[in-house]
Structure 1
């Protein structure tokens, strides 16, 4: 059963992926790789980037027509060069920033270099990718930028002092970009997943409720783009409670989080 849309979509819905040029930055593994595979299956012209050149080569071998551009998101020269190569085949329809670095550490084990590494990959890396594609998109009046953030960016959480703020920054950035770029013909979206079974979450030693697989995450992302959503969050059985928690006064929020996490 389908229900009538009460409000217009915030972004232009994607009617077909056939022939769309999509560049996924951070597609060596996890959600990025799954999304690249799913988009390729739908007929998109997929370009993948990441640090693991072998993983990218393996992806291209398994997905005829896909192109790979290895890079380190901390190196803006490499990112800009890859963006130029992607555009050689024509205007870019979408750039998806999926690259992430994660270490779940207590703030009591403060490690400045590790915290700065989170900033360099998760936030500054996104800025580099945006800067590499935005000027051309503005000239063309066409294109969509999607940032992979996290529900960890909604509010402060235990053992998330390094990771959480970078995702909060991406959410804030996406909102600002939308407000400024929507009127110029560009789409902007932010993806806030809960727990997804990836090499990154495999590091965790705590319970991860409502975990889903990368293929399901990719399906939810693509469905969100197709429907023109600004925020794409999943799985709803986990993200809606997190949204409700995030709106509570801090006194109540901290009590519930501490009880739920045992901190």
Structure 2
């Protein structure tokens, strides 16, 4: 992990920061001396993260007079509410400024078997995992891509003994936006038809933005975690290979974002397995993944459609 002395202090905004990877990222970055803005719907949980950061700082101070810490800023926001997202971005700009990094980490997971497919759950996951990120991107992308004046020594070029011209203003504002997807977006997995679909869409969106903006100063990144111990993975009822802690995930993410890699995928062994599955022929992939996850399709006789509204006659 990069020390605070090795890099300048940054302003970092993390969504979905009340628990799991987002929370661990916030605590790690604040210990490096950065100002970290944390967002989620639950303000009480966000305040608890700030209190935990304060406790860690006081503990560090007791044994080290040179301890460095940053600052946690609580910014409650429901990313599925576009009006609230717009207001939160404006509040952030006024109080702190435009972030050096934005981590679009908010997401949720609701697994269900095929015989209980729920369009309502699919809609909920799309709204949180995909559209919420879109609401934020709509607000912040124009801010980063807005051109700014070049330095005078670069802007003025002599074209003759008595004339000058101003160079075209093509520089955008530096920044980094990371979209958190999942290795579950590589290929379809049992009980993840809704969740995996949203993560596949996030991967595609990150790749598309990167392709279009690769020549600007806005740095688009993609984060694809494997199995990480969080309240979301606690919902899984199957064995999760290569499971790592949220703290280790945060370390891997920070290391990756400080490198030049577009995709940050971890843990390494999980990344290798999923990369292999991504290119495995369909005739081998589907039977293999069905057996290995213990999801052999035995549809119960009592299986019925899961409707959210009233039954029609």
TM (normalized to structure 2)? 0.77
Contact between 1:26 and 1:50, CA under 8 Å: does it hold in 2? yes
1:22 aligns with 2:12: yes
Q: CA RMSD in A?
A: 1.6
Q: Helix, strand or coil: the match of 1:95?
A: strand
Distance of 2:288 and 2:38 partners within structure 1: 40
Specify the alignment match of 2:307 in structure 1: none
Q: Helix, strand or coil: the match of 1:183?
A: coil
Q: Give structure 1 stretches of 5+ with no counterpart.
A: 1-13
Please show how residues 107-126 of structure 1 align to structure 2 within 5 Å: 107-126=114-133
Distance of 1:158 and 1:217 partners within structure 2: 24
Distance 1:189 1:126, change over 3 A: same
Q: Helix, strand or coil: the match of 1:184?
A: coil
Please show how residues 1-263 of structure 1 align to structure 2 within 5 Å: 16-63=6-53, 65-88=71-94, 89-139=96-146, 140-262=172-294, 263=296
Distance of 1:158 and 1:75 partners within structure 2: 30
Distance of 2:278 and 2:287 partners within structure 1: 13
Query: How far apart are 1:203 and its partner, in Å?
Result: 1.0
Q: Helix, strand or coil: the match of 1:66?
A: strand
Query: How far apart are 1:221 and its partner, in Å?
Result: 0.2
Distance 1:43 1:18, change over 3 A: farther
Q: Helix, strand or coil: the match of 1:82?
A: helix
Distance of 1:255 and 1:192 partners within structure 2: 24
TM (normalized to structure 1)? 0.91
Q: Deviation per CA, 1:210-250: give whole Å up to 9, x if none.
A: 10000000000000011121100111111111111111121
Number of aligned residue pairs: give it. Answer: 250
Distance of 1:124 and 1:217 partners within structure 2: 24
Contact between 1:97 and 1:148, CA under 8 Å: does it hold in 2? yes
Distance of 1:75 and 1:177 partners within structure 2: 23
Query: Higher relative contact order by CA 8 Å / sep ≥ 6: 1 or 2?
Result: 1
Distance of 1:168 and 1:117 partners within structure 2: 16
Specify the alignment match of 1:10 in structure 2: none
Query: How far apart are 1:61 and its partner, in Å?
Result: 2.8
Query: How far apart are 1:16 and its partner, in Å?
Result: 5.0
Contact between 1:195 and 1:201, CA under 8 Å: does it hold in 2? yes
Distance 1:192 1:154, change over 3 A: same
Q: Give structure 2 stretches of 5+ with no counterpart.
A: 55-70, 147-171, 297-313
Distance of 1:83 and 1:109 partners within structure 2: 38
Q: Helix, strand or coil: the match of 1:39?
A: helix
